Structure 1
Amino acid sequence: MRSLLVTACLLSFAPVLSAQEAGDRAAIEAVIADQLADFTARDIAGAWDHASRAIRGIFGTPERFGAMVQGGYPMVWDNRNARFLDLREEGGRLRQRVAVTGPDGRDWVLDYEMIEQEDGWKINGVWILPPMEGMV
């Protein structure tokens, strides 16, 4: 009887957790999509707004940040066809995989580390992953 009560209580929280996770997923995807659109429009200040405090501390100015992305991440600088793949937790942080098409027409898989700050979700780093079968 007691285990039935515990199970019923746990199940009553499941929809709330799922709604929270769905809200986080939607918010994270919106932040990444906005930043990708900002880079395409060359709105570096807008893209900078989506960077975490740690990233801002590393680059110092939107101009330096934009130069780094332009030189090191051409598939982000000139992106199209963004497709959101899996969202997962690694090391206490959420990581969102995103497939994009770069300026050369090649597909790329990016791994965005996301952190929640007092002003919402922010991008805390992006890693270029090798394309995997069936992911893109």
Structure 2
Amino acid sequence: MASAKDTATFFTHGTCQQFEQVLKLYPQALRLKADRRAKKPEELIKLDNWYQNELPKKIKSRGKDAHMIHEELVQCMKWKQIRGKFYPQLSYLVKVNTPRAVMAETKKAFRKMPNLEQAITALSNLKGVGTTMASGEYKA
């Protein structure tokens, strides 16, 4: 099993070819994770496809007005929790955000890009969204 130091070395010294090789393993790794950890493996695979492929296209299609809607934020939390540890209070907190707040804060965050720190701060204004969720840093 690779250590954190091995991972850091890979990210700082890996070649494009090595990154592409590892990326090709993602579907297989996801399937193994789904079969091992999820009660409904197909749900994780479907949600992951939505998160990795469909959601970015939806956000990009909104152009200069890029934002997320409430349901998309709720789905992101569901994706996050099905991959890792489930915290029911986080799901509840994310759901109590108003659609208006979700749209406003995500618009603000996308306008702050590429300044990740400011974008994460904007997203963290939403209930249930901390720096881990805002940054997309999920434990696998």
TM-score w.r.t. the length of structure 2 is: 0.31
> In proportion to residue count, which structure has more strand?
1
TM-score w.r.t. the length of structure 1 is: 0.32
> In proportion to residue count, which structure has more helix?
2
